[in-house]
Structure 1
């Protein structure tokens, strides 16, 4: 229930958490109101800052009565830093909300869960990020505030790996010698060494999944799910540096990893039948779709950007069908975009055989989803 108060604010009771991260309530008219930084059971004072016909966005002004499920955020910058949004929620509730959100995304496109459905919440929910992007000016170093470029100075990040936090004061000292505001990407290499890239484009330090433990779970799920046959060829599309396919090299006759960011030179230790193609996926498929591969069958892994295959879906699906791909793993980090792609494959006679969910991003609403489809 809600009640009007004397100013332009309203009092709401938060009933649920939306998969996008905000608390959910209804105002006196029954309209849904989303309120960030709230928990189910909170009684809060809110100002409406954005209105649509069926819903509104609220700004949290005051917590009048705190929910029993609310917990104290670990980070003193929580609420002002633009990073974590769920430190006030217990992890069990975070995971339940993420998993049910993916299932809701599938139900919206009329997909029932297959009998093979796995959930992989994170064991390591703090100090897991192997890569962060810091901003600074002089001796002040931290992150941008939510929705702005204002600097929120911090002395550590509670979701960053210990190696990054150990380097914090060194980063502050190095940044203070620079003549203007700066950006530094800091990554923990697989060896444990720290890599720093100053004032370069986003991703200059290279892409790598930020939660190594959860990444290992995703790799293992793919290895246990995809067909194991040394006579098959595997196409790893949007494959980066081969994160999801390098470990499968011994199980395929050929592997082709395609991405704009793929290595231009074969890295040391990569077997000769593993081929990197530094190109756009659509461009490469258009050049390759009529090539004859001397293999008995073909599999594909698709791990596109956040928006999914989007308007490239038909082009890519038709190309992989012409190349006789008969099974694919579809990976996505946006539940709606991923579920939409899965539904489009199903409408084109692919069958959904398995689904698995992975939490790469504790303390945030984000989740990674994977599906096995065959035809």
Structure 2
């Protein structure tokens, strides 16, 4: 085989692919390979500074290699690390955070704690988005838009797996038009919610009726237009209601089809408790939550704070946040619709001086205008919740330069068997 080589794997990329070097010294990335392994590969593509390869054979296996329980683990785009022992996954994720802070942010004098993992890292997802091609329902094959027909997924609880299998069975008799499906399940309540993304699909109500007759836990089926702006467009209810109920701790949440909510409810409690511990609230503080989404962290902290203000650009999320505050009879909280990079500088100019600021941005991290506004407010503490170690490193470097002192970083494994890792970090201003 012309492009076949044997190489040693010395590391993992931030996306979980094995890293080695070809005979000519070029760095090569090999999905499915692990550090310490001797593997046979086929080079699939050569770029200027690196190559991509397919794993053909493992001649010497890592002691951390395990047999993935899912037969599609190497093909499906959902998981990246099922072949790596879970304890080793947690060690690798901590190392990923440490290296990002040091290499990308130049942040060295900071403590990164061991990753908080799960006792049972399977069946944890409360939400899944599946795709439809023709009459096939499933996940995209890794690196493509080819649909792998759904059979099972070890990351989903039994209720979502049964619902997905029934939809896959019904679709061939309902005609074309459906493009995507989002399934949600309340971890504490067991309630099921289905969202159908379609364009002119007359069979939508028929499918909703059949699912309702099969699943007593199903509380709603809604239709969404394709390519919709999820902050504005409301769902068309085909059956039941447009939300399910979830509970975290003592709080209740109404979650609609388009609401952002952590996909791992069990670890969400771990994450929010850690944020609360770092915030150190005593009951009278003013808290500002930027990028507050549907208000989960703001509501979680409101019970220990004097007043909480949430800022969120997605109007639908603000609606959900206000609804959940009313549901829980929480009155010391208010939510503002608008971009954090616009509202926070204005609040800083108007003299807003919260004792605690929560930053929970998307993967792109915080806009510089947000970080500058936070520095101007001089809060006693900043609690940064991040889903991307690279942008966390960049933003922490800015805040440290602005005069904040770093506390510990606590990684939380919200997404076992994937390369994703969530972090909570505390910074103080003395």
**Is the pair's TM-score, using the shorter chain for normalization, greater than 0.5?**
yes
Aligned to 1:184: 181
Q: 1:16 to 1:317 in 2, by over 3 A?
A: closer
CA drift of 1:173 comes to 4.1
Q: Deviations over 1:255-282 (max 9, x none)?
A: 1111123332621224222112222111
Question: CA 1:68–1:117 in structure 2 vs 1: closer, same or farther (change >3 Å)?
Answer: closer
Larger mean Cα displacement after TM superposition, 90-99 or 283-292? 283-292
Name the CA distance, whole Å, in 1 between partners of 2:420 and 2:276: 23
Q: Say whether residues 1:356 and 2:410 are aligned partners.
A: yes
For residues 15-94 of structure 1, the aligned pairs below 5 Å read 15-52=10-47, 54-94=49-89
**Shift, 1:245, TM fit:** 2.1
TM-score w.r.t. structure 1 length?
A: 0.89
Is residue 118–residue 355 contact of structure 1 (8 Å, CA) maintained in 2? no
CA distance in 2, matches of 1:110, 1:286: 27
In the alignment, the residues of structure 1 paired with residue 341 and residue 4 of structure 2 have an alpha-carbon distance, to the nearest angstrom, of 50
Note the alpha carbon deviations across 1:83-110, whole angstroms, 9 max, x for none.
1111111111211111111111112133
Deviation for aligned residue 1:290:
3.3
Which residue, out of 266, 277, 286, partners 1:213? 266
Correspondent of 2:355 among 288, 298, 303: 298
User: What secondary structure does 1:117 align onto?
Assistant: coil
1:135 corresponds to? 131
Query: 1:65-85 CA distances to partner (integer Å, 9 max, x unpaired)?
Result: 544432211111122211111
* CA-CA distance at 1:348 after TM superposition: 1.2
Q: How many residues align?
A: 365
Q: Output aligned runs, 1:1-375, within 5 Å.
A: 7-52=2-47, 54-108=49-103, 109-114=105-110, 117-137=113-133, 139-176=135-172, 177-189=174-186, 190-199=188-197, 200=224, 201=227, 204-261=257-314, 262-264=317-319, 266-267=322-323, 268-292=327-351, 297-309=354-366, 312-313=367-368, 315-375=369-429
Match of 2:247 in 1: none
In 2, distance between residues paired with 1:326 and 1:65? 52
CA distance in 2, matches of 1:140, 1:365: 27
1:269–1:338 Cα change, 3 Å: same
When the two chains are superposed, the root-mean-square deviation of aligned CA atoms in Å is 2.3
> What TM-score do the two structures reach when normalised by structure 2?
0.79
Query: Secondary structure of the equivalent of 1:370?
Result: strand
- Checking the alignment, whether the CA contact within 8 Å between 1:237 and 1:300 is kept in structure 2 is yes
Distance in 1, matches of 2:342 and 2:118, equals 36
Distance 1:116 1:339, change over 3 A: closer
Distance 1:345 1:36 in 2: 35
**2:296 aligns to what SS in structure 1?**
coil
CA displacement, residues 315-369 of structure 1 (integer Å, 9 cap, x when unaligned): 1122223334231111111111111111111111111012100111111111011
Distance apart, 1:63 and its partner CA: 3.6
Once residues 191 and 27 of structure 1 are traced to their aligned partners in structure 2, the CA distance between those partners, rounded to angstroms, is: 52
Cα pair distance change 1:69/1:271, threshold 3 Å: closer
Contact 1:31/1:55 (8 A) holds in 2: yes
